[in-house]
Copies of this chain bind each other. A is one copy, B any other.
Amino acid sequence: MAIKVVKKTLVSFLLALLVFQYALADELITSQPAEVTVPARTIPPPVGVSPEMLEIVKNRRIPPTIPVPGSTEAWLELQAAFDAPGEAQGRFAAERNKVSFEVKDIAGVRTYFVTPEKLNDRWKDHVFVHTHGGAFVFGGGDSVLREAVWIANGLGVKVASVDYRRPPLHPFPAAVDDAVAVWLDVIEDQDPAGTVLFGTSAGGNIALATTLRLKQLGKPLPGAIFAGTPATDLEGTSDTWYTLEGLDPLGQRDGVIAGTFAIYAADADRSDPLLSPVNGDLAGFPPTILISGTRDLLLSDTVRMHRALRSAAVTADLHIYDGQSHGDYINGIITDLPESDDALRELNEFFEAHLNK
């Protein structure tokens, strides 16, 4: 019997060591629980990143959890506490990158118009539309400047950033409605097929949802979309929320983030594609570029969206940066970061290939 056990262990090992695994082969069918238990581990810094990115990773801190606000007032307090440093960062990013901005009311929606010091000839007559991130609840006001500045300065293009209404006072679909309103206003003077709609994280969700909404309304779609590490499934919890927990300063979905999704969705069905774009009817969607990282809690949300787009025969390019956590590429606005420059190069190339002049 002992020999048989050893032999079976060896065979299991060998089968698993094969380039691919026949999990359905008879020997491997077991009554294992569906969950996998992974023991505690110490993980060294990634080898596949630039020295600058390595410094960021080395100095990272996974934040402690904080209580989920239990009332509208408590959410508003957290929102204000969150937005204050975000707004300071937004203004700092604008100053550091010599980007100017003004705030206008567009179709009733507060909108930031952001202009880089130097316009790229290719984009001098374009305005790209931005929906900011921040878990649907945070990241408004001057905070929107962070990613808006990254794109405006990085590509040399004017950006209109939608400071959309947010929970707890304004749940879904307020944000999408606001983005649609600004979009329709912007394309009065712009070829929509020459216009990008873009955002990261919740902003990626809203960019995708806005495009789906425009499709529903029969309105002109963007010429291209950039969805940076987008939240694309607010109903199910995608795999990397679990598998990469502990490696991304975003923390975890349980707790405040789940709370933001709850107050954003409010009473709506979270399987609605305007909340979970991965479920959308993506036929005829514009060319879409997606970016994520191997330590990004939203890696699965990102690759699932990529596959959904590709299954609908949409031109969709995926770029994954080794060792990056959620939205790390945007750090280029405050520090020299080769990966950030590289992402801007990819975005520029993608837009050059797919946008009308």
A9 proximal to B (CB < 8 A):
yes
Which 5 pairs of residues, A with B, have the shortest CB-CB distance? A19-B133, A20-B327, A46-B239, A38-B246, A47-B236
Chain B residues with Cβ under 8 A from A249's Cβ?
Answer: 16, 21, 23
A15 proximal to B (CB < 8 A):
yes
Select the stretch in A26-34, A100-108, A114-122, A164-172 that faces chain B. A26-34
Chain B residues with Cβ under 8 A from A15's Cβ?
Answer: 63, 85
Q: A56-B24, A320-B303, A320-B318 are in contact. Are A200 and B66 (CB under 8 A)?
A: no
Chain B residues with Cβ under 8 A from A277's Cβ?
Answer: none
A4 proximal to B (CB < 8 A):
no
Chain B residues with Cβ under 8 A from A41's Cβ?
Answer: 37-38, 242, 245-246
B82 touches A59 (CB 8 A): no
A294 proximal to B (CB < 8 A):
yes
A217 proximal to B (CB < 8 A):
no
Query: Please, what's the 1-or-0 string for A52-88, where 1 marks a CB less than 8 Å from any CB in chain B?
Result: 0001111111111110000000000000011001100
A303 touches B321 (CB 8 A): yes
* Shortest distance from the beta carbon of A4 to any chain B beta carbon, whole Å: 15
Most B CB within 10 A of own CB, among A15, A59, A278: A59
A-side interface residues toward B, CB under 8 Å?
9-25, 28-30, 32, 34-48, 55-66, 81-82, 85-86, 89, 132-135, 138-139, 143, 146-147, 200-203, 233, 236-240, 242-247, 249-251, 256-257, 278, 294-295, 299-300, 303-304, 306-307, 310-311, 317-323, 325-331, 334-335, 342, 346
* Shortest distance from the beta carbon of A81 to any chain B beta carbon, whole Å: 6
Chain B residue nearest in CB terms to A251:
B16
Q: A16-B250, A19-B202, A238-B46 are in contact. Are A303 and B294 (CB under 8 A)?
A: yes
* Shortest distance from the beta carbon of A304 to any chain B beta carbon, whole Å: 4
Chain B residue nearest in CB terms to A49:
B239
Q: Which of B146, B238, B247, B328 contacts A47 (CB 8 A)?
A: B238
